[in-house]
Structure 1
Amino acid sequence: MDTDQQDASPGVQPIEDAVDEFLQRGSKSGNYKSNLEHVLTQWRTNWPGASGIETLDDVDKKVMADYATHLKRRIDARQSTTTDSDSGITISTAWAYYDNVSAFLDYCLEWDKISENPAQKAIAKDQLPERPSTVSGSQQFWSTEERRQLLDHVDRRASKAIDERGTGAVVELRDKALAYVLAFTGVRGGEILKDSRDDRRVGLRWADVNIEDNQITILGKNQQREPAPLPEQTHRPLQQLKRAVDPASDDWPVFVSLHAPSMYGVLPDGFERPDNDEQSLLDHCRTLGVVPPALSTNGARSVLKRLCEDGDIDVDGDDKYLTLHGARRGVGEKLYRERGAAAAQRTLRHADPKTTSEMYSHIETSENAENVSEVFRDER
């Protein structure tokens, strides 16, 4: 008998225990496991209907319909012109949350803890907007024009700051280097930035950067250290940033967080800046032998939002700014069109060529249509 499975009657097991079992089973690890744990914890504790959820028997189609309605309200909050968009979520995120809860309930169904999965009831799912299209090409990617606009903006911004403050233009040079690395490497945001949900993802370090060999070493999606290409377009922005930051060691993050509370969080307890202090907090980290904090994925999203807004960048599609993953898709899109599927797969480090083909199948479809048009050109 499986000792992990409780002898209690179906539906009686406490939700918390069932969730713990679900998270421990299988090959869940890294960000995937962290995301599941976060979503399921929020579902059972932190929304208006959560107070009535104690055992599996408490979860029925009404609870799931109420949860879907709660997610819909968060979608509406993001889309409202009178509400800060950060307080809401996108349609795709809402569906991801709902699907995570449904996956947990599927597990419970498989192990006879419940008799049916209430998340799969149409009356519950109908409370959410239509699921976003997963058709290739429907998701954001940085187009050539969007990429040019962003890089032109960070170039001008950094040049002006250097003229005014010299090597003190750390923020502007950091943002410029970040934009260039995202625009040309095809890395995932979580591979070069700090992720608070995964203690292995501490951000790209200077020790990981090898300009001479045109590569950086990152923690890939597979949780293994692996090389990623570092095209020559990124070299000068990174060199400019390194001169400005002047890292005390190669352990320093490439993309430092200059958020004051985060900086004070790594400085010694009781640290106080002297009166008339002309040193930056980064200078104090250097003096005290402290490694400054790395910019997080959320921090980088805020940077991109600000850059797109300040640079008046015309972003195509529903997103109001150029996203982290949109940069990766943009690199793949360009390579797929101009160098073929194999080049895109190698750069994006897809283990399965099918992943690349599915992601950019819209390109192949378009090219096939052109071929068919040409073949039948004389018939109409």
Structure 2
Amino acid sequence: MTKSDQSLDAPLADYLTDKSKGNDSGNYRRNAERVLREWLSWTRDRRSADTFAALDVDDLEAYARHLKRRTNDADGLAPASARKYFDYVRAYLSWCQRREHLADNPAAKRRATGALPDDDRRSEHGQQLWSPAQRNAIVEYADERAREAIDETGSNALAEARDRAFVATIAYSGVRGGEVLRDRNDARREGVRWKDVDLDAGTMTVLEKGSQEYRQTGVPRQAVSALDRWQTVFDPPSEEWPVFPTLHAPSLSSAVADGLDAAGYTDEEIEAMRDDATALELCYAEDIAPPALTTAGGRNLMRRLSKAADVPGLDTEDGEYLELHGGRRGAGDTLVRRKGWEQAQKHLLHADPKTTMEAYSHISAEETADEASEAFDESDG
């Protein structure tokens, strides 16, 4: 019997064991098991075959509609809860796909997710949120990719080391992409510079989007570590150099031409210098700061990395990827859950606590539901 011929619940115990690692409270494992067993029961009742080979997008689309109908009941699910139930199933099937039970994940298809009820919170903010599993996947991939490149080429692994630092910064620091990258539509936003970063203190000064003022934000050690390793590989000759430079050859070439011209070199001298060295080598030799990576370049980078990293819960073939602002929202979600509203507000540089509470209001509802569930378990158990 092949893995695809196994029943849908065959690897469930192993999945739940994996999900319990590092989760002292066991909340995720407990909730995932309950929801998945309900889904398995619903699937068996709907059709006689319940193997991975028989599962297709029609089944997941039907399950999404089933959840949507439950939100219309007087005492049914909230739209956010319905989507969360579906996320549990999608995560399980992604895990199964990576272990070759499935060729692809039908729960990640747009036809299936499109049948889910609208989540008022998601509709209002229109923003993605990196889950812990997604954050771990992209960070681990970027780290492994950088280590392999450095082992093979040493200091020439610039792109891989930069990408690792960029992913870690977006994943953990809570900054917006436009606060650390170059924005072609805003002359003030030339990208964060090394002079703006204090790795010893774990801080970074950014032009904050909300207040439009320069403010200092905290950089967690997970991002500091990646930035420190990137600085060692990059070895910028000046603190005026961008933390996340573009490595796009035409952009570097244009910057070098302008820099050499401004330094007083003649056209003949510039041509001779360009014949003897690459644009990046001339940046180092003449201390010409390369342009920072643009916000558009950052988005394109995340598209490539998301696809290569096989991030769970994304249909990369349909254009989905880990968006820059999703990293900020994911960091905020984790902070609210683990450290509380006040810490999240400080880290995200929200001037008004109401902004934080509105952005993560779903957490209050979930906590209330969990506490009520435990209370009734204790009372009626």
Q: Which has the higher helix share?
A: 2
Equivalent residue for 1:213? 201
Paired residues for 1:218-229 under 5 Å: 218-221=206-209, 222-229=211-218
Cα deviation code 1:68-121 (max 9, x no counterpart): xxxxxxxxxxxxxxxxxxxxxxxxxxxxxxxxxxxxxxxxxxxxxxxxxxxxxx
1:188 aligns with 2:165: no
1:177/1:238 contact within 8 Å kept: yes
Equivalent residue for 1:338? 338
Q: Distance in 1 between matches of 2:184 and 2:156?
A: 28
Equivalent residue for 2:131? 143
Aligned residues: 249
Shift of 1:272: 4.0
Q: Distance in 1 between matches of 2:126 and 2:292?
A: 32
Counterparts in 2 of 1:209 and 1:183: CA distance versus 1, 3 Å:
same
Q: Distance in 1 between matches of 2:202 and 2:374?
A: 41
Q: Distance in 1 between matches of 2:136 and 2:120?
A: 27
Shift of 1:273: 7.0
1:230 aligns with 2:219: yes
Paired residues for 1:1-380 under 5 Å: 134-135=120-121, 139-221=127-209, 222-268=211-257, 270=267, 271-272=270-271, 277=276, 279-316=277-314, 320-377=320-377, 378=379
Counterparts in 2 of 1:273 and 1:334: CA distance versus 1, 3 Å:
farther
- Structure 1: which 5+ runs fail to align? 1-131
Equivalent residue for 1:54? none
Counterparts in 2 of 1:150 and 1:375: CA distance versus 1, 3 Å:
same
Cα deviation code 1:258-316 (max 9, x no counterpart): 11111112112554476885x44222112123111000111011111111112222244
- Structure 2: which 5+ runs fail to align? 1-117, 259-266
Cα deviation code 1:164-222 (max 9, x no counterpart): 21011000000000001111100011110000111111101000010111101111111
CA RMSD in angstroms, aligned pairs only: 2.4
1:315/1:321 contact within 8 Å kept: no
2:336/2:344 contact within 8 Å kept: yes
Q: Distance in 2 between matches of 1:174 and 1:134?
A: 37
TM-score by length of 2: 0.61
TM-score by length of 1: 0.61
Equivalent residue for 1:77? none
The residue type paired with residue 231 of structure 2 is K
Q: Which moved more, 1:227-236 or 1:204-213?
A: 227-236
SS in 1 for 2:121: coil
